[in-house]
Structure 1
C-alpha cells in the first residue's frame, strides 16, 4: 500500500515545558531514527508537507482548508490512504470538516461523490518523543501510530479516527477525556455512512478553491443557557449579534436535555432578529449522548417557530463544522434562502445516525 503521512503538530509531536509542537524537520528526522525501523512491513510510506505546524487548540476553519487540500493532493499523487497526525483538542472537528470537504456536491449541495481513499486521524495524549529525541516512556503515541498505519490498509473511503485501540467514524467522534488514553468515543454510535462513488481529486480541489475564501469568514458561535436569569442568555445573544455584525454566520444553541431553551419571551426576539439578518440558528444539546428533539418539551417546542434547525444526533463539533461549510457553500454559490438550511439537515459524511 502507498500510504501518505502528514504531521500537523499536536501533543504527539510536542516537546519542551510547556509542550509545543516541534518543527516538521526535527519530527521527521527523529521518526526516521526511532519509529520507521519498528513499523510493520507492507506499507510504503511517504511524507506530505503541512506547514506551519499547529497546536490544535488554535485551529481555525482556514486550517481545515489546508488539511483538506493536503489530503486531496496526496490522493492525486497516488496515495491509497492518508494518516494525519493531529492534536486531540480539535481532532473531532477536523475529522468532521474533512468528511464534508472531501465530498463533492451538486449545485444544490447534495453529495454526489467522495474521495475514494481512507483518511485516518490519530494523535496522542502524551508526546511520542522525549526532549532528547528518544521514544518517551509510557506514551500512548506508539500504539496509536502503529494501529492507524495498520488499519489504514483495511478501511474503506471516508474519514476515520483511530485511538486507544478503537477505530471510529471521524464525523461521529467526541473527545471525552482530557488525560485518559481512551480520549475519544462515539456517544451516539457509528452513524449512517452515505454510499457514494469516488470523486476525482481535481474536482474536489476545484470545489475547495471556490470554498476557501469563504470558509471561516463568518463566525459560528456556540452559546447556551446556564443557571442564570433568562435575561443573561438574551443579553449574550444580543451582544454577539451586535459585536460581530455581518461577521456572524450562525449560532449553535447548546440547550438542556433534548434541546430545551427556557424563557422564550426573552430569547425568541433575539433569535428572530438574527434570522432576519440571514444568520443560521441550530439547536443542539449540552449532553454528550442522545438526539435533539426540541418539540418534546414546552421549553424547546417554540424553537421551530424562530427557524432553529435541529442537529439530530450530531456531535457539537460535527454541527459546528457543518454550519461553517454550509455558510461557505452558500456564499461561494450564491444560494437562495433555504439551501443552506437543507444542506445542514442532510447527511453528508455519516455525521447523522439516520440517512438524512
Structure 2
C-alpha cells in the first residue's frame, strides 16, 4: 500500500465490521492493528490486484450502530479525497447496514464521476479461535470478497456498487436477504430502477463546479444530521387504528421522513382516521413514502387497497428497495431545507425514466 495519492489507485477505507473483527466476543480491530495485517497479505498475494492507498478513518465500529452522523462522516471522508483528485474507492464495512450505506453514498455522489465499491464479509478475515497472534481464517469469505471488490473498484466506470459473494450490483438495488449465509446479499442489474446519474468522465470545469457546490453545503449537512430522522411503520394484519397510533406519535415532531411499509404492491389497511392522520402528517411537513415489504418489485397504484393513500399526500416509493428509500429520504433531509423542496426532489427522482443503471 501507499499513502501517496494517485488518480489511478484505489483508496481503501476500513470501517470495521465482521471483516476486521477478532477476539471473544468478536469486535472490530482498530486501523493500526488491522491494516498492517491486510498489507502483509496483499504483499504475499499472487493476484493481479490494483494498487492501493488507504484513507485515515477514525470511525471503526459495528455497522449496526451507524446513524446519520456516521453516514455523513463517510461522505465527508470520500468527498475530501475526491476533491483532492482520487476517483476510485473501496469501503470495507459491516453487513448490517451495508446496503443502506451504499445507497446513501449513491444518492450523495450523484452527478459525479466517482467510483465507489462497498464490501464486507459474513465471517472475519482472522481466525478468532486462535487468540495468540493473527491467523487467516481459511473458512472465511473475507479475502475473496475483498479481492473481488478491489478488482471491481480498479476497473469499472463511475457509480456506486456493492460487491459480495462473487457478485456485484448497483448500490441502490441491493438488499440483505440472509443473516449468516455467504450469499447474504442480492440485487438487480436490470430491474427497471431509475437510471443512475453518474457521469463517465466529468470535464475539469464541471468537476470543480460539482466539488465546490458539495463543499459549500457540507457544514449544513453535518449540522442537519443531528436532527435528521427516518422512521418506518410496518403494516401487519392489524386494523388501521394500530397504524394511526404509531403515526400520531410522529405527527407533532419536527418535519421528518416516514416509510410506510405496506403489503405486496403497497397495500395498506384503510380507515378514515388513518387517511386524516396522513393528511395531518403532510400539513406538518413530514414526508411519508409508500414502500413494500417485498424485497423487490416496489409499489404501484393498481389496487384500490393501496391507491387510496396517494390521495392523502403519501409519496410513491416506486421500485426502490427499503434501503434505497431510507437513503434517499435521509439525503433529502440533509440536503434540502424545506418540506416542499424535499417533496419536489423526491417526485423528480422517482419520475425519472425507469431504466437499468447506466452512464449519462
Q: TM-score with structure 1 length normalisation?
A: 0.87
1:121 aligns to 2:118 (yes or no):
yes
Q: Say which structure is richer in strand.
A: 1
Are residue 204 (structure 1) and residue 214 (structure 2) matched? yes
Shift of 1:354: 7.1
DSSP-derived class of the 2:268 partner? coil
CA distance in 2, matches of 1:351, 1:9: 37
Q: Secondary structure, in 3 states, of the residue corresponding to 2:248?
A: helix
Q: How many residues align?
A: 336
Does structure 1 retain, via aligned residues, the 8 Å contact 2:120–2:145? yes
Could you tell me how far apart the structure 2 residues matched to 1:299 and 1:58 are? 36
Q: CA deviation at 1:195?
A: 4.9
Structure 2 matches for 1:163-312, cutoff 5 A? Answer: 163-186=164-187, 189=190, 191=193, 192-196=195-199, 198=202, 199-200=207-208, 201-215=211-225, 217-242=227-252, 245-246=253-254, 248-293=255-300, 295-312=301-318
CA distance in 2, matches of 1:82, 1:20: 24
Tell me which moved more, 315-324 or 28-37.
28-37
> In structure 2, do the counterparts of structure 1 residues 42 and 24 end up closer, same or farther at CA, with 3 Å as the change threshold?
closer
Question: By how many angstroms is 1:216 displaced?
Answer: 5.3
Q: Could you give the per-residue CA deviations for residues 292-345 of structure 1, whole angstroms, max 9, x where no partner exists?
A: 10x2112112111110000100011111111111122222xxx4x532112113
Q: Are the structure 2 counterparts of residues 222 and 136 from structure 1 closer, same or farther at C-alpha, using a change threshold of 3 Å?
A: same
- The answer on whether the counterparts of 2:175 and 2:185 sit within 8 Å (CA) in structure 1 is yes
CA contact (8 A) 1:194 1:347 kept: no
Deviation at 1:265, TM superposition (A): 1.8
Kept in 2, the 8 Å contact 1:83–1:121? The answer is yes
Aligned partner of 2:37 in structure 1 is 30
Question: What SS is found at the alignment partner of 1:119?
Answer: strand
The aligned runs of 1:297-336 (5 Å cut-off) are 297-331=303-337, 335=338
Provide structure 1 residue ranges, at least 5 long, that are not aligned to the other structure. 104-112
Q: Which runs of 5+ in 2 are unaligned?
A: 1-7
Q: Is the 2:105–2:160 contact (alpha carbons within 8 Å) kept by the matching residues of 1?
A: yes
Counterpart CA distance in 1 for 2:348 and 2:78 is 24
Cα distance in 1, alignment partners of residues 248 and 18 from structure 2: 37
Indicate the residue corresponding to 1:110 in structure 2.
none
Q: CA deviation at 1:78?
A: 3.6
Label 1:39 to 1:345 Cα distance change in 2 as closer, same or farther (>3 A).
Answer: farther
SS in 2 for 1:345: helix
Contact 2:119 2:163 in 1 (8 A): yes
